[in-house]
Structure 1
Amino acid sequence: MRPSELSRKLKIGPGDRCLVFNPPEGYLDRLEPLPEGASAGSGNGAGAADVVQMFVADRAALQHEFSAGYGALKPGGRLWVAYPNVGSGVATDLSRNHGWAVVYGAGLTATDEISLDGSWEALRFEPSAQVERSPVPGADMLPVGRAASPAFRAVRAIAGALFRLLFRFDVQGRARIPNGPYVLIANHLGWMDAISLLLLFPPEPRIHYLADPTSMMRNRPLWALVRAVGGIVPVDRRQRGNTMLFRHVQRCLERGGVVAVFPEGDFGPSEGQLLPFKKGFAHFAASAGVPVLPVALAGMKEIWVGKRLFVRIGEEISTQGRTVDEIHRLGEGAVAALLPAYQEPAGRKPMRRWLTALF
């Protein structure tokens, strides 16, 4: 009998032992029929399996379950982690490109993605050392400075008109935006964050985002657009103490540009909640002697046509005479204080699933 489509997706081979942690009701039956000699059962962390699949609802569950699941995998085995998709109706802080710090910390890299059904997506993880991937470009790949290029101005004008038709932006504090160089910090909810700030802030001084470009590089049209209009400083998360990155950030600020950082380092878990801020932004601002501009965002975790999106711009924080720790504390506190009380609205949500998972 031909193996089931689901078992083929998960690459379960003849004779393989598959362990499934926290399977939804009826899921093990959906794996049948399996390849000849293969078996599948509910995982308990005991023994060694050729294929391990974990179902986790959020980052907290992933953190709690990961050691047992990964520990049950044979060397060279296949690890799949399933998480709720946008259409499931389950509130989650996991997505295709975000929320996997505990997995990355174990030296693994996502190499494949599949849809299990209307509620669950799954990522396959393999040891990073065994994965061939395009190297992250150097931090100085793109020019930096105050000036906005003609290409950026053109794209910004077109995108601005489109986004104002699709969404309703509620912005407060525009008069507080400095005209000189500064470090912009904001909470991070989703892909809309960076685009909103580019469209709502003045084109000059030009905003440059510190960003891991790995997911952008997999999207060829998007990566081509980024290379054409600029505005990012590539960050290789595998490198620590990257002197080229630090020099290029300082070059940007010295030339009158803006450096934008999402200090949480990942999408926040939910609206109104912040992950602890990393200190990089404070080091950059203190070294260059430029202020920090705090910004709070709300409504951008889930996106749909016609949704109201909130941007709150705070008072700039001077770095003169302040230590890195002081700047870090003041910056994190300012963003937290700016966050508006927010509750997802009821009613129709046109194109929510597609727009939320767009990037």
Structure 2
Amino acid sequence: MSLGEFDLIAKYFDRPARRNPLGVGDDCALLAPAPGMQLAVSTDMLVEGRHFLPTVSAEALGHKALAVNLSDLAACGAEPLAFMLALSMPKVDEAWLAGLARGLFALADAHEIELVGGDTTAGPLNLCITVMGQVPAGTALLRSGARPGDQLWVSGQLGLARLWLEALHGPVALDGTDFTAARLAMELPNPRLALGRALRGIASSALDLSDGLLGDLGHVLRRSGAACHRDRTPLGAEIEIDRLPRHEALARQPEPIQQLCMLCGGDDYELLFTAPPGAHGAVLEAAAAAQTAVTCVGRITPEPGTRVIDRNGAPIATPWASFDHFAGPTP
């Protein structure tokens, strides 16, 4: 006999809360952040065929569904507290649900975040997670704090997830080792929570890289420009392409493929952040404490627009667009 909705929840998603103060099991979850803290809340949705392929393992899907939401908390410098899961699926598949729960809760336990509610229904495969975290009042990292002269930083490496898509769709050929590395980058992103917390009070702005470096940087430039210009003119940026950190699998590809993947790839879930030049040493100390590699890749400029330059300062054409859920990428 197939499981009903509430039996399904009880078997795969209901477990005792491991941290307080949380209230679970009623019509609403009750959360109380610690005194002097603000709640940080974000929602992300993963839709089959749009964000993941039917061939992805259930365990990897559970990991990624939570990871992409935790990445938003990282970008605000928040500490994870609780999350909710809304799950739509065509039919009950207990083996698949067991794998999903394993991947989901392995990452949840690693970051001490509790599942406190949600919803399940029949329909196309779709996972929607809402995360809640807490951050000391007034210390959250925002997109609006960048200023001209600030250095531009990224964590980790860029472009490997997009490289997997390029190999999957045919333009790029990868050997087994490189293909596996690229696939793991796409399916098992690592939210940079420790780095986000370490950057509080150091970084002037931050966001996570989900839709590509050029597109996501544009959000910082617009929000920061609106914060410092009466006419809301965006700030600008200069990116030194040779400084962009890349996996050896990507470095083996032709230069145009490298540029496409690093600048417009999306699904990196690394942190993009800015900091004043005088905070350079503090950034490196924070990164070391968080055990996360960071690279200074450019600077914020007062003139609108993003310029990508080579090692000699010459501009590089960037004829691509970052991912847009309705327009799609333009390779």
* TM-score in terms of structure 1 length: 0.26
Which structure has the larger Rg over C-alpha atoms?
A: 1
Greater RCO (Cα-Cα under 8 Å, separation 6 or more): 2
